[in-house]
Structure 1
Amino acid sequence: MYVRNLRKPSANKNVYKFVSAKNGCTIMCESSLEYDCCYHLEYSDDVVSFESQPHGYKYFYLGKCHFYTPDFLVHKKDGTFYFIEVKPLSKTFSSEFKYMFYKKQITANELGASLLLVTDRQIRNEIHLNNLKLVHRYSGFIENTIHLENIWSAISQSTSIQIGSLSRTLNLGIGEVLALVLRLIGLGRVKTDLDVLLDEKSLISVN
């Protein structure tokens, strides 16, 4: 196995830096698509930790040995782990790519892991990704306050409650409530449907 070092300066590569509270470090990415993938991994309940450009491995294709580094190594709550390759969907249709990826998967399985292909179609679901970006923006921006704890208390006493109802109950502005709810989502304490736009009608419940 070998390791690629994205921290080594290069005039030919842009490096994208994702600040991850889950990992307690900055995740270095080679592309904006990998960077956007980090939002999904950061706020997935099933993911304990993840790292970019992990130890690579050798695989054989057409009788030759090739070196491969997955884009991510992901550790799950159940103790298992898997690799991710991030690719634009348009680059996944060729027979050469499909066969090479199959060979990479076989070797990953021999190492005790699966290798998953994740494309821009999955990563860049506009509404879901934009909501994750909002969660990330507020996750470290707001400190614990009495308003935050009041919102948490109101949510925990209900099966689910709308943001608008929280605003009226606690006599706080919609914008302030939304920011505090985003903070609680980032902390993993509450949840909502991130596949729809967040507004005063969004239902919030304990995670």
Structure 2
Amino acid sequence: MKKLRSHIGGTPSPARTIKRSQYGKQTTFFSSRKNGSQIVCEVRLEADACFLWEQDKNVVSYREQPERLTLEVEGKSRTYVPDFEVCYADGSKKFVEIKPENVFLKPKYLALYRAARDFLRDRGDDFELLTDNEIRKQPRLNNLIKTYSQARGVDPLELAYLRDQLRVLEAPMSIGDLLALPSAPSPASISAAIFELELRCDWTKPISTNSQVFWG
């Protein structure tokens, strides 16, 4: 069975290697612009969580399968590898476990995660249980996927051109009206600006060419 590797270079290798085609798993590669690397996700839900960290301005980096912990769980020694380590601009770190809500409710998992939380907090790190209910809020997730994907490959010059145009335009405008300008900015630059929150819009509704965007 072929093993998947990620993080070529100076970033530490995952503590637990994810294998391809495990039963019940849907291994996914997430192309992270923030990390400049491919993130190997054991299930699709983990890849969906990556969109949240890509947009979060406080997150500077994140990595999968970061560290093997030795814990005491109900009187027994257990090893456990959190799904992700997330590093923040203030220097803090959070270890994150990602699972569907119904999995977290099982007593055997709750005991493990309580032990992990206590262990990590004792050494000054945080621990979070992140569920599908939080990750897959709609239409936020679809908006993140759409704008992140459409911004792929955007050139810095395209973004600079968009910013120059916005300086002489009056907000708000619809995305369609921006694209209809005589010398319109590129769709990729608009998507990138929306994802990075340079252009503000209503994330409680699906983003389309009719969406109003604000700036300044």
1:122 Cα deviation (Å)?
0.7
Structure whose residues are more often helix by fraction? 1
Aligned to 2:74: 62
Give the Å deviation of 1:101.
1.7
Match of 2:164 among 146, 149, 153: 153
Distance 1:109 1:128 in 2: 30
Superposition CA RMSD, Å: 2.6
Aligned residue number for residue 196 of structure 1: 205
Deviation at 1:194, TM superposition (A): 2.6
Other structure's SS at 2:95 match: strand
Structure 2 spans left out of the alignment, 5+ residues: 1-13
Sequence identity (%): 26
Q: Secondary structure at the residue paired with 1:84?
A: strand
What SS class does the counterpart of residue 96 from structure 1 fall into?
A: helix
1:13-162 alignment, distance < 5 Å = 14-144=26-156, 148-156=159-167, 160-162=171-173
* Highest RCO, 1 vs 2 (Cα 8 Å, sep ≥ 6): 1
**Residue 156 and residue 86 in structure 1: after superposition, are their counterparts in 2 closer, same or farther (change >3 A)?**
farther
Partner of 1:182: 191
Q: Partners of 2:170 and 2:121 in 1: how far apart?
A: 42
Question: How high is the TM-score relative to the length of structure 2?
Answer: 0.79
Which has the higher mean CA deviation after the structures are superposed, 128-137 or 18-27? Answer: 128-137
AA aligned opposite 1:155: L
CA distance, structure 1, for counterparts of residue 128 and residue 201 of structure 2: 26
5+ residue gaps, structure 1: none
Structure 2 counterpart of 1:69, one-letter code: V
Number of aligned positions between the proteins: 199
**Cα distance between partner residues in 2 of 1:125 and 1:27:** 22
SS at match of 2:45: helix
Check whether the contact 2:55–2:196 (CA below 8 A) recurs between aligned residues: no
